[in-house]
């Protein structure tokens, strides 16, 4: 059997890593003494397109034009109830507002909203520009691969909760080069890395829940990915706000796990027991 047809998932992960890590190589190779490689504008963001390109390539090889068309169709807004867009657009902002309000009370200051949706790294972007930038590169660029391609295949093998957890591992490994050059990653100590891993797992559970709840719509999870990134970027101005936002996102993930993943299993077991009885 053609190995591409037999092992599409390992091929996808290998290509996602290879594309992203190669694009990022001018940024992380200097840590090993390799310098002089060209660095392009928005170079880090370009590497985030690796999962998208890998998903399109493997889908084309595995399923042909029909498969690519079906994957691209799930990037559109169709078939999703409007309230899901409110959840993914407003939810992270509300959590940021709650976290920063709590920090403001503790520190005796005003709530910081003026810099929300803006970027110190890319100061030329306004709020809408920064959102579009995050949506294209970190939303669609990543989620087309992680949730759009990999998650449904993992779910068929492991079930929803385990699939989201397994995907977290591969998603975390993809980030490894960032610990060699991105300031926020380079500065992490052991506790910071542990917290980052937990937040990634929580994010994977939430994104997987959204993906399944919206009939496998990639755009919704991409918007959520982008808005969560923007919320954490704004929260980075204050460690207390960052910790509070992380706690609230984790709490949201715990609620989803209890109400969606575990309760679903319990209901299935009851149905099976009733059928047998």
Q: What is the pLDDT of residues 129-186, one digit of tens each?
A: 999 999 999 999 999 999 999 999 999 999 889 999 999 999 999 999 999 999 889 9
Q: Which residues of 157-182 are buried (b: 16+ CB within 10 A; e: fewer)?
A: eeebbebbbbbbebbeebeebbbebb
Q: Mean pLDDT across the stretch 70-98?
A: 93
Q: What is the pLDDT of residues 19-75, one digit of tens each?
A: 999 999 999 999 999 999 999 999 999 999 999 999 999 999 999 999 999 999 999
> 44: part of which helix (H) or strand (E)?
helix 43-47
At residue 275, does pLDDT exceed 80?
no
> How far apart (Å, rounded) are the C-alpha atoms in residues 169 and 187?
21
Q: What is the pLDDT of residues 214-254, one digit of tens each?
A: 999 999 999 999 999 999 988 888 889 999 999 999 999 88
Q: What is the pLDDT of residues 242-253, one digit of tens each?
A: 999 999 999 998
Q: Which residues contact 217 (CB under 8 A, 6 or more apart)?
A: 74, 77, 79, 80, 84, 211
* pTM confidence score: 0.91
> How far apart (Å, rounded) are the C-alpha atoms in residues 8 and 6?
6
> How far apart (Å, rounded) are the C-alpha atoms in residues 238 and 248?
15
> How far apart (Å, rounded) are the C-alpha atoms in residues 132 and 210?
20
């Amino acid at each position: 059997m053609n190995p591409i047809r037999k092992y599409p998932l390992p091929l996808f992960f290998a290509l996602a890593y290879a594309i992203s890590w190669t694009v990022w190589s001018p940024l992380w190779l200097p840590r090993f003494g390799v310098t002089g490689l060209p660095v392009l504008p928005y170079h880090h963001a370009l590497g985030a397109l690796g999962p998208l390109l890998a998903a399109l390539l493997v889908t084309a090889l595995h399923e042909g034009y029909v498969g690519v068309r079906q994957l691209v169709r799930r990037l559109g807004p169709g078939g999703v109830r409007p309230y899901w867009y409110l959840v993914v657009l407003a939810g992270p902002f509300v959590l940021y507002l709650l976290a920063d309000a709590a920090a403001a009370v503790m520190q005796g200051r005003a709530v910081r909203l003026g810099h929300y949706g803006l970027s110190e790294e890319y100061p030329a972007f306004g709020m809408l520009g920064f959102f579009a930038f995050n949506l294209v590169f970190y939303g669609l660029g990543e989620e087309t691969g992680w949730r759009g391609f990999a998650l449904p295949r993992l779910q068929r093998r492991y079930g929803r909760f385990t699939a989201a957890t397994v995907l977290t591992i591969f998603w975390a490994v993809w980030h490894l080069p960032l610990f060699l050059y991105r300031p926020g990653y380079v500065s992490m100590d052991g506790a910071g890395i542990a917290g980052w891993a937990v937040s990634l797992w929580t994010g994977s559970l939430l994104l997987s829940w959204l993906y399944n709840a919206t009939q496998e719509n990639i755009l919704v999870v991409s918007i959520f990915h982008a808005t969560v990134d923007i919320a954490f970027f704004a929260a980075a101005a204050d460690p207390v706000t960052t910790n509070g936002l992380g706690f609230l996102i984790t709490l949201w993930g715990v609620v989803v796990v209890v109400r969606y993943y575990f309760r679903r299993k319990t209901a299935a077991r009851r149905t099976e027991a009733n059928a047998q009885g």
